[in-house]
């Protein structure tokens, strides 16, 4: 599996570790959901491959928040991420952020104005945590809520349910042979 963050926050960039902000609940959710077998922090992000997990960001440029990112940066980041998916062939790509997936869904799904509109009208479909209908290079796409302390759209319990759903999906995967 590959976990995909939006971009490094200021503290993550300074520390060189993913999800390093003091109010970010990412690492606790990974453990509590059963995705990793022991409590870890951002300083342990290099251990994720021990459990078959890779991690990257969609956009490499650090920023204080996602409002500082441009649509062009999302699209350029997607081009790079798609190449990583093609190269590493994960079973699951988990986007850590509903907003990130919502921003990319047209590119990922190949939706064009002439395509049938999503249910409910003309804009993007309602994106909910969990598996999405699209796949990329054989990888199933999963969306997690962003665990930032600034995310008021999801309660901790909602986030934990989504992370536990991902953990169940990971446990259901057949064992992979080492590359």
Q: Which residues are catalytic?
A: 7, 18
The Cα–Cα gap between 9 and 68 comes to: 11
What tokens does 11 get?
């503290």
- Residue recorded with tokens 């934990």: 160
- Return d(Cα 55, Cα 4) in angstroms, integer: 6
Determine the Cα–Cα distance for residues 53 and 80; give it in Å rounded to an integer. 18
Sheet holding 2-5, edge to edge: 54-57, 2-5, 92-96, 139-144, 130-136
Which residues, in sequence order, are CB contacts of 153 under 8 Å at separation 6+?
98, 145
Question: Residue 149, class by beta-carbon neighbours within 10 Å (0-12 exposed, 13-18 middle, 19+ buried)?
Answer: exposed
């Amino acid at each position: 599996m590959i976990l995909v963050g939006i971009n490094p926050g200021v503290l993550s960039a300074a520390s060189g570790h993913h999800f390093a902000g003091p109010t970010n609940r990412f690492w606790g959710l990974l453990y509590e959901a059963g995705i990793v077998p022991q409590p870890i922090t951002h300083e342990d992000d290099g251990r994720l491959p021990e459990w078959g997990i890779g991690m990257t960001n969609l956009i490499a440029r650090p920023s204080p928040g996602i409002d500082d990112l441009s649509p062009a940066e999302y699209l350029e980041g997607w081009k790079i991420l798609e190449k990583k998916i093609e190269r590493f062939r994960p079973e699951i790509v988990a986007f850590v952020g509903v907003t990130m997936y919502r921003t990319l869904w047209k590119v990922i799904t190949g939706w064009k104005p002439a395509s049938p509109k999503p249910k409910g009208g003309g804009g993007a479909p309602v994106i909910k945590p969990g598996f999405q209908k699209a796949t990329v290079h054989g990888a199933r796409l999963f969306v997690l809520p962003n665990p930032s302390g600034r995310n008021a759209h999801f309660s901790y319990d909602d986030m934990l349910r989504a992370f536990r759903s991902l953990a169940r999906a990971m446990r259901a995967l057949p064992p992979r042979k080492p590359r």
